[in-house]
């Protein structure tokens, strides 16, 4: 029973860490860019 609960939680945590890493990279990449105010929302989100 513990494994059936631990596996989804581990996947959720890993997914959250991956999203946090991508988000922080996009934030620093945007802050280093000259046009950083328009980079607050990622461009691939605007296209969708």
What digits encode the pLDDT tens for the residues 2-35?
A: 678 899 999 999 999 999 988 888 777 766 655 5
pLDDT band with cut points at 50, 70 and 90 for residue 45:
low
First and final C-alpha spacing in the chain = 40
Per-residue pLDDT, 31 = 61
Other beta carbons within 10 Å of 27: 14
| DSSP-derived secondary structure for 1-48 | -HHHHHHHHHHHHHHHHHHHHHHHHHHHHHHHSTTGGGGSS-HHHHH-
pTM of the full predicted structure?
0.47
Q: What is the spatial distance between Cα 38 and Cα 44, in angstroms, rounded to a whole number? A: 12
Specify the pLDDT at position 40.
Answer: 56
pLDDT at residue 47, as a whole number: 55
| Domain with 19 in it | 2-47
Number of domains in the chain: 1
């Amino acid at each position: 029973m513990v494994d059936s609960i631990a596996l989804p939680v581990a996947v959720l945590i890993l997914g959250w860490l991956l999203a946090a890493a991508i988000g922080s990279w996009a934030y620093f990449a945007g802050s280093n860019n000259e046009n950083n105010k328009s980079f607050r929302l990622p461009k691939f989100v605007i296209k969708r």
